Amino acid sequence: MLLADGALLTYCTNIHPGESWPEVFASLKQHLPAVKAAVSPDKPFGVGLRLSAEAAEGLRAPAAMAAFRDFLAAKDLYVFTINGFPYGAFHGQRVKEAVYQPDWRDERRLEYSNLLADLLEQLLPASGFGTVSTVPGTFKTLGEGAETQMADRMLRHAAHLIGLAERTGKTIALALEPEPCCFLETIEESVWFFEDHLFSPAAVARVAELTGLSATATASALRRHLGLCYDVCHAAVEFENPAASILALRSAGIPIHKLQLSAALRLAPKLRQFQALQAYAEGTYLHQVVTRDAGGGLTRYEDLPDALAAAATSPAEEWRVHFHVPIFEADITPLATTQDFLMHILALHREEAIAPHLEVETYTWDVLPPALRSLPLDQAIARELQWVMARLR
């Protein structure tokens, strides 16, 4: 949906199961018309598409692409962003740390990202702008020593995007998504990586060599085609300061191409809260935990069961858990959420646009405790979008 400030708002269809293109297309046909009817009945509705590598290969077939474009036109829908984070399966089985693989150390991640950009180019209008979000390099324990290797693949992808723009007039940006316990975890780490590896003189020279552009044109193009996906849940879990984190990126000249609107679990540790938290220690997704003690020190756990096992001896005064919960819920008694962080970000966006693309991303509906799944899925998605729109007026 087109917002008053010119930004586009949607939800991410990674909420719907499906790994092959026929499965994905079936879910889109089932859910998108109902959500559009609830939130944008008389205007075009944008789609935040999620494609696994398998689904992307399926959509690459000319007949599949033609059928999808016909469906979009018939239903007054359009695609402007793709979630290119999960390469493989994302529902109905253990995902956990495998969600990052193959990562940017692997040539398959580059090939997948190039394909997603090629598909998005076919879906964008003339002179359109699209975004593809991606893994923040790799998982934390795998990144040391691989910085240059990962950066080179990202720069080669940027060269692919530059060539695509020259041929088609359509601009597509790759948006790296910092996440707890990943190679790019904090805003500070992200600024360092972009300054030292993606926007550095050496990076400019590398991409100029690949594209034939001048150094000045290349430096400008890199900022058009590379940037961040700022996931609000992830930033809240890391105890980032909303205003300071956005200012740090702006000051460093690092674009936020995509803003993912999401909320995490929050609690001040008490026995009753730990008991309630057990319901969220499910086996599909990774639920990283960051705790803060009275002195402001942070302790990180790769998954919720690890944090719960250490709870008896932890000096933490506050926990934040990477479990995407409905953004319209401020309290989930006896737990709370980081909705206040999200509201702060939305207020900042209302003052000065943070990103051109906004995407609600609550992908956990299938694994939420039953009390949080009382609404039918399409109604829940619509309620999240309506909640955002009400705060951006």
Q: What is the number of domains present in the chain?
A: 1
Give strand pairing partners of 77: 45
Q: What angle do CA 348, 135, 330 make, to 5 degrees?
A: 40
CA 193/CA 172 separation, integer angstroms: 21
- Tell me the Ramachandran region of residue 96: left when phi exceeds 0, alpha when psi lies from -120 to 50, beta otherwise: left
Write the pLDDT tens digit of every residue in 272-290: 788 899 999 998 899 999 9
CA 326/CA 155 separation, integer angstroms: 36
CA 148/CA 229 separation, integer angstroms: 21
Give the containing element (helix H, strand E) for 46.
Answer: strand 45-50
Sheet holding 331-332, edge to edge: 298-301, 289-292, 318-325, 263-267, 335-337, 331-332
Q: Which two tokens stand for residue 239?
A: 């105890």
CATH number, domain of 117, equals 3.20.20.150
Write the pLDDT tens digit of every residue in 148-198: 999 999 999 999 999 999 999 999 999 999 999 999 999 999 999 999 999
User: Average pLDDT for residues 297-308, to the nearest whole number?
Assistant: 96
What is the predicted pLDDT for the residue at 94?
A: 80
Q: How far is CA 90 from CA 40, 84, 96, 100, 301, in A?
A: 28, 12, 9, 11, 22
Instruction: Tell me if 289 is assigned to some domain.
Output: no
- Give yes or no for a contact between 117 and 172, defined as CB atoms under 8 angstroms apart: yes
User: Average pLDDT for residues 70-83, to the nearest whole number?
Assistant: 98
Q: Does position 92 have pLDDT exceeding 90, yes or no?
A: no
Instruction: Tell me if 207 is assigned to some domain.
Output: yes
Instruction: Tell me if 343 is assigned to some domain.
Output: yes
Instruction: Tell me if 143 is assigned to some domain.
Output: yes
What is the predicted pLDDT for the residue at 331?
A: 86
What is the predicted pLDDT for the residue at 5?
A: 87
The 3-class secondary structure across 85-127, one letter per residue, is CCCCCCCCCCCHHHHHCCCCCCHHHHHHHHHHHHHHHHHCCCC
What is the predicted pLDDT for the residue at 1?
A: 84
Sequence-separated contacts (24+) of 243-248 with Cβ below 8 Å: 243/344, 243/348, 245/187, 246/345, 246/348, 246/354, 248/187, 248/188, 248/191
Instruction: Tell me if 147 is assigned to some domain.
Output: yes
The 3-state DSSP class for residue 1 equals: coil
User: Average pLDDT for residues 29-56, to the nearest whole number?
Assistant: 97
Q: In which band, very low, low, confident or very high, does the pLDDT at 393 lie, cut at 50, 70 and 90?
A: confident
Instruction: Tell me if 30 is assigned to some domain.
Output: yes
What is the predicted pLDDT for the residue at 312?
A: 82
What pTM did the predictor assign? 0.97
The Cβ-side half-sphere exposure at 45, using a 13 Å CA radius, reads 25
CA 36/CA 45 separation, integer angstroms: 6
Instruction: Tell me if 325 is assigned to some domain.
Output: no
Domain containing residue 71: 8-263+337-392
DSSP letter at 2?
B
What is the predicted pLDDT for the residue at 243?
A: 98
Q: In which band, very low, low, confident or very high, does the pLDDT at 271 lie, cut at 50, 70 and 90?
A: confident
Write the pLDDT tens digit of every residue in 195-245: 999 999 999 999 999 999 999 999 999 999 999 999 999 999 999 999 999
φ, ψ dihedrals at 262, nearest 5°: -160, 160
257 exposure class (CB count in 10 Å sphere: 0-12, 13-18, 19+): buried
What is the predicted pLDDT for the residue at 208?
A: 98
What is the predicted pLDDT for the residue at 370?
A: 87
Write the pLDDT tens digit of every residue in 377-392: 999 999 999 999 999 9
The Cβ-side half-sphere exposure at 373, using a 13 Å CA radius, reads 10
Q: What does the mean pLDDT of the chain come to? A: 95
Sign of the four-CA dihedral 168, 156, 90, 359 = negative
The answer for residues whose C-beta is within 8 angstroms of residue 41's C-beta and 6 or more apart is: none
Instruction: Tell me if 328 is assigned to some domain.
Output: no
φ, ψ dihedrals at 83, nearest 5°: -85, 105
